Amino acid sequence: MKKIRNLSAPVLAAGLLAGCATVPYTGRSQLSLMPDSEVMAMSRASYREVLAESEVVTAGPRAAMVTEAGRRIAGAAEAFLRDEGLAGPAGSFEWEFALIDDDETVNAWAMPGGKIAVYTGILPLAADETGLAVVLGHEVAHALANHGRERLSQLLLFQLGTTGLELALSEEPETTRDLWLTAFGLGAQVGLLLPYSRVQEYEADRIGLILTARAGYDPRAAVPFWERMRAQGETEFLEFLSTHPSSRKRIAEIEAMMPEALQYYRPR
């Protein structure tokens, strides 16, 4: 893989102008240098690789709970995009929710296009289907906001620059794949994503609470969930916390977001 190199301000500006998108609902501008078709193709392949190397739970009450909560959260996401006037992008998501049998891994993650994985280790802290919906709402929000594509675009720009980017996309697909593996942490250990930025995390919290509420789950379950995560993290390292930083400040931010989310809550 090519090393990071310093880029001049004009080069960076050109790259930023070359591809920009807008995050649904929040309206934040984000870097978007990869075509959706290519991102989706890599996401499908990587997701299949993860599942092939994992023990996937396909039957039983835990798998049924993931399927049901995922179905409802994905439905809320599609409705969310339609209401935001983004019905076109909604069709580009191919929602899949897999439960991986690994009680030692307290984790969940999302790849672009709606490829979601949950590890059985997080289920005790989720406590029930509503807590699981909080987790899935947050992860689906990352997919909905195209945070994965944004992170990959940032890596592409800073690693290759605009000239190298054009070459890599057209003639060096292996370079693009190497950067994909770096962006999603798949080169060293399958299924562990590199940390999102604080902006992306809070963005996923906000959108995720709304999705949870729109799916008919009480978003107030997010506060005790994150309190359990924080308490657990004080005694042992949790992989989920390595990519989803939990803190008193974060819980306070979620509490501040709650009135907005509750406007969408209709119990089922």
Catalytically active residues, by annotation: 139
| Angle at 237 (CA atoms; ends 126, 258), nearest 5 degrees | 40
Distance CA 47, CA 84 (A): 28
Helix axes 147-171, 198-214, angle to 10 degrees: 120
244: amino acid identity, one letter: H
Q: Find how far residue 226's CA is from the centre of its chain.
A: 17
DSSP for residue 8: -
Residue 110: which of 63, 50, 188, 52 has the closest Cα? Answer: 50
